Amino acid sequence: MRHIAKYVIDTSGGERAKFMTAKTPAGLIRLDSGSPSFATPPHIVEAVKKAIDEGHTGYILEKGVMPLLEAICESIAAETGATIAPSQVLITNGSSSGIYAVMSCFLDPGDEVIVFNPSYSLYPHVARQIGAVPVAVSHKPDYQLDIEAVRRAITPRTRLVMLNNPNNPTGVVYKEEDISALLDLCAEKDLLLASDEAYCKLMQPGQVHVPVLKYHRHLDRLILLGTFSKSYAMTGWRLGYVVAPPDLIDYLYGIHRSINGPICNFVQRAGIAALRGPQDCIAEFNKIYKTRASLMHRLASAIPGLYPAQPQGAFYLWTRFDLPQSAREVKARLFERGVAVRSGSEYGTGGEKHLRISYSVSEETIEKGMTVIADVIRDLAKEAA
């Protein structure tokens, strides 16, 4: 057998790669998607066309094009009141490569990183790949942060906390007092905190996103992972950014650049249009997500054995199920019957007996998919009886 580097061997992307490249069975109802179902807004598309026509097609040798770095700093100032210099921003290949850069920058082999359980599966995956140890911290029963559990999980090897707000897969928006307490705990223990706020603009009515950068007293230990993917329906454009304290950002740049090189010049111009252009596209997306979320929640609540959480942000319905089968088995049975969802256990042990169902699809697809889900859950319950 060929030699594969020690830490990489257990993190093969094989199964996922096979699934991603397999031909989708005809008629499969996709309730598993992490991509918005909308087209990128036209003014953003126009900006990239113009940038290509104007010849913005060469390397960018810096951390990003200055007008984009400035636009990011301006939007952060407007949202949080924080003064961030353009030199503290690094443009990344979506936030995925930002996550990789952050973890490999601050974690030596054997170092521990706190990840909430469940949360985005890339965090433990990257941690293992670089020989670090993801330490899973459970949520409270309402899927909110459990600060005392974080305290108990901290050891002398803990270096970093990965926060994911709103949370993928639960769709929960964390409470202000818990975020504040978490940051105070990080300060007490001298830990860095990276906040992945990929879904921060996709909020259900009445929900308020609390950006970590609004806690100015903690700015020296805060790293923000941002992306255009979800808010502006730009998943395929691969545009994200990291904001970090002045003494850390250049290390992140060093790592990021060795795996990605500079990020596409003309796509960065699209980012400027997204931030500086009209924001009504986001209000429009949220209006549609509201209708879809309440439809899916209503249909799921009517299925005996499903206990869906109230959607708060992102575009995922998170539901517990009361069946003897594992989340993976339920997902496989649903797939056989023509509906793709994500098993909760993909996001950590805390996701066992849960499913993540994406409402980033039309109402018609939600209705069809939920009908099949109702049938399958009923059949599985009968088999178990």
Ligand X SMILES: Cc1ncc(COP(=O)(O)O)c(C=O)c1O
Q: Return residues touching ligand X (CB under 6 A).
A: 34, 94-96, 120, 164, 168, 196, 198, 227, 229, 235, 240
User: Strand order of the sheet with strand 342-343?
Assistant: 306-308, 316-321, 354-358, 342-343
Q: Which is nearer to ligand X, 154 or 242 (CB)?
A: 242
Q: Which is nearer to ligand X, 32 or 146 (CB)?
A: 32
Q: How far is the CB of 97 from ligand X (least distance, A)?
A: 7
H helices within the chain, ranges in order?
14-21, 42-53, 66-80, 94-106, 122-129, 147-153, 176-189, 249-260, 265-276, 280-301, 327-336, 363-384
- Distance of CA 138 to CAs 229, 330, 370, Å? 27, 22, 28
Residue 112 CA to residue 10 CA, distance in Å, equals 18
Structural tokens at position 246: 């002045």
Q: Which is nearer to ligand X, 229 or 299 (CB)?
A: 229
The DSSP code for 315 is T
Q: How far is the CB of 303 from ligand X (least distance, A)?
A: 25
What contacts 274, CB < 8 A, 6 or more positions away? 41, 44, 228, 231, 232, 234
Q: Which is nearer to ligand X, 244 or 376 (CB)?
A: 244
Q: How far is the CB of 198 from ligand X (least distance, A)?
A: 4
Place of tokens 């256990």: 345
In sign, the C-alpha dihedral spanning 70, 201, 177, 134 is negative
Q: Which is nearer to ligand X, 226 or 380 (CB)?
A: 226
192 CB neighbour count, 10 Å cutoff: 22
Q: How far is the CB of 294 from ligand X (least distance, A)?
A: 22
Q: How far is the CB of 95 from ligand X (least distance, A)?
A: 4
What contacts 81, CB < 8 A, 6 or more positions away? 214, 216
Q: How far is the CB of 197 from ligand X (least distance, A)?
A: 8
Q: Which is nearer to ligand X, 139 or 299 (CB)?
A: 139
Q: How far is the CB of 115 from ligand X (least distance, A)?
A: 11
In the complex, residue closest to ligand X by CB: 94
Q: Which is nearer to ligand X, 171 or 380 (CB)?
A: 171
